[in-house]
Amino acid sequence: MTKPHLILLPGLDGTGLLFRPLLSALPEQVRAKVVTYPSTAPLDLSELAALVLRQLPAERVVLLAESFSGLVALALLASAAARVRGVIFVGAFAEPPRPLLLRFAPLVSHAGGLVHSIPSFFLRRYCLGAQATASELNALREAIAAVAPAVLAQRLALVARRHSFGTSDVPAYYMKASADRLVPASCASWFQQKFKPCEVEEVPGPHFLLQANPRDSAAVITRALQTLA
């Protein structure tokens, strides 16, 4: 059977630029498509889900929802589950993962250019890991710089908000980073409770798992696609 389309939904930046390492690591036969979000227009979850839905091919697809996009995928499933064969969640969450940190989210819209100059030690500790190279750090800054601070702040506000999502019988996989400092390991339990079935697999790496460890991530994703096919 032909492998299903893999639709990649990006993290908080929404640019899709940070999928480059994963796309290079995936086997050539994987049919992957990157969906991007507007960089200057703040959209709520229902609007982002509708944007994704308009870009899906006619056949049923597998969604790969990275971090923030876990919320978008959940919103999409609430209205169009029949279009989805399965979902691979990567470092995702359905409830605010770090409420204390998220209290500072409104400040992002007033930070201006400072948002685009995040110190390397912060990016290594919370995003890419201690071994992150200068080029990897610059790629992350490039993605952040492409998005208006007001849009980043609005998306962080969506992360900080409590949403109501029901259960689903769409098969799910949850990729949990072993050294995630942004999303607690307990977030995976929510998906295990709401999705039947839901397989959880821990992968070595920080929160930005697909960027820091694309090889192991691609291997897990490929196995999931084989199962869903």
Taking only the tens place, the pLDDT of each residue in 118-176 is 789 989 999 999 999 999 999 999 999 899 988 998 999 899 888 899 999 999 999 99
Question: Which residues in the chain come in under a pLDDT of 50?
Answer: 1, 107, 109-110
Report pLDDT for 119: 87
Report pLDDT for 105: 54
pTM reported for the whole predicted model: 0.93
CA 101 from chain centre, in angstroms, equals 19
Nearest to 66 by CA among 90, 88, 49: 90
Domains of the chain: 5-228 (3.40.50.1820)
CA 182 from chain centre, in angstroms, equals 13
Q: Which CA distances in Å does 136 have to 6, 18, 68, 122, 129?
A: 24, 9, 20, 13, 10
Q: Helix, strand, or coil here: 199?
A: strand
Report pLDDT for 110: 45
